[in-house]
Amino acid sequence: MRKLLILFTLIFALAATNAAHAEKWELDKAHTEVKFKVRHLLTDVWGEFTEYDASVIYDPENPSRSEVEVTVDVSSIDTGVEKRDKHLRSEHFFHVEKYPKMTFASKKVERVARQRHQITGDLTIRGVTREIVLNVGGPSAPIEFMGTTKVSAHAEATVNRTEFGLIWNRTLETGGLLVGEEVTIVIDAELNKVQKDEN
């Protein structure tokens, strides 16, 4: 009986230690950008989403226990040209009236090098879900600023937009396509550590 009690004590102690290492972080939206890049005719066009939210649980001792969830308000798309943004919100592309949100939910987090991770997860656009891999630089070493612990991270992934139902295009006289099918997603994030009494 005494051995069984010791075993349970060790299990609970280990669980408590692991939980202590898992840290909750929130985005500092004033210093975070969710951007994308796609080829248009001869140049790359950049755009961003200005309304989004994220939940990040990071365990520096065991990254595989980390979790990332992101929700984006697709109607907040901004490429700097209102006419183009209106087209992107239409049924030809994101169809925001029917599919107002784009989401990402991690399934696996792996450390591949010092301050480099890969996050495998499900990206859902227009009701279609595909598995993608985010290549992450970071998180950086934490710093203290005005009483808040901060880190930064840079994440990129490349997806084929047609796999999510964004198939609109035009064929050029030369035989090419007006809009590229590959889209590069770029996230530059600054995160604040959530104090335990705020969880």
Domains: count for the chain: 1
Residue 197: what pLDDT?
59
Is the pLDDT at 48 greater than 50? The verdict is yes
Residue 44 lies in a domain: yes
Q: Which residues is 144 bridged to in the sheet? A: 149
pLDDT tens for 28-38 read 999 999 999 99
Side-chain-side CA neighbours of residue 116 (13 Å): 5
Residue 161 lies in a domain: yes
- Given pLDDT bands bounded at 50, 70 and 90, which one contains residue 198? low
Residue 11 lies in a domain: no
Is the pLDDT at 177 greater than 90? The verdict is no
Residue 159 lies in a domain: yes
What residues make up the domain containing 185? 22-198
| 164-190 average pLDDT score | 91
Distance (Å, rounded) from C-alpha 98 to C-alpha 46?
24
Residue 6 lies in a domain: no
Residue 1 lies in a domain: no
Residue 4 lies in a domain: no
Residue with tokens 């930064």: 152
Residue 126 lies in a domain: yes
CATH number at residue 82: 2.40.128.110
pLDDT tens for 50-95 read 999 999 999 988 999 999 999 999 999 999 999 999 999 999 999 9
Share of the chain above pLDDT 70, in %: 88
